[in-house]
Amino acid sequence: GESVGLHLPTLSVQEGDNSIINCAYSNSASDYFIWYKQESGKGPQFIIDIRSNMDKRQGQRVTVLLNKTVKHLSLQIAATQPGDSAVYFCAETGANSKLTFGKGITLSVRP
C-alpha cells in the first residue's frame, strides 16, 4: 500500500551544524507535503510545506526539497540549535486527500 517512511530513526548533530532529515514517499499522486516538529510530550507543530509543483521552499532556517523523480523529501535545518531537538515527521496527502504521516525521526543536538 501507499506509505510514507523515514530512512533513519535517529539523527545526532553538533550544535551549529546543518541538519538534513530525509523522507521517502511512495504515492506518486501526492500533491502536498508537510514537515512537522514534535517536542517531547507535545502535539506536532507545523514547520513548512511544499506542493508538488515546486522543488524547493525556504523558511526561517529551514528548507524543504522535493525530488519527485525519486519520490524523496528532505528537511534542511541551518545552524542547528538545542531547541531543534525533537521528533520530525513528514506527511503527504493520501488517497482520500487526508494526510499520511511517516514514522518520525528523532533529531538530537549535541552541545
Q: How far apart are CA 12 and CA 53, in angstroms?
A: 32
Q: Pick the closer one to another protein by CB: 5 or 16.
A: 5
Q: How far apart are CA 32 and CA 68, in angstroms?
A: 11
Q: How far apart are CA 104 and CA 111, in angstroms?
A: 23
Report residue 82: phi and psi, to 5°.
-55, -35
x/- track of binding to another protein for residues 50-89 (CB under 8 A)? ---------------------------------------x
24 binds another protein (CB under 8 A): no
User: From the DSSP assignment, how many helices (H) and strands (E) are in the chain?
Assistant: 0, 11
Count of residues near another protein by CB under 8 A: 20
Q: Pick the closer one to another protein by CB: 11 or 44.
A: 44
Give the nearest distance from C-beta 85 to another protein in angstroms.
Answer: 15
Contact 76, 29 (CB under 8 A): no
Chain residues 27-46 in contact with another protein, contact rule CB under 8 A: 32, 34, 36, 41-46
Residues that bind another protein (CB under 8 A): 32, 34, 36, 41-46, 49, 89, 93, 97-104
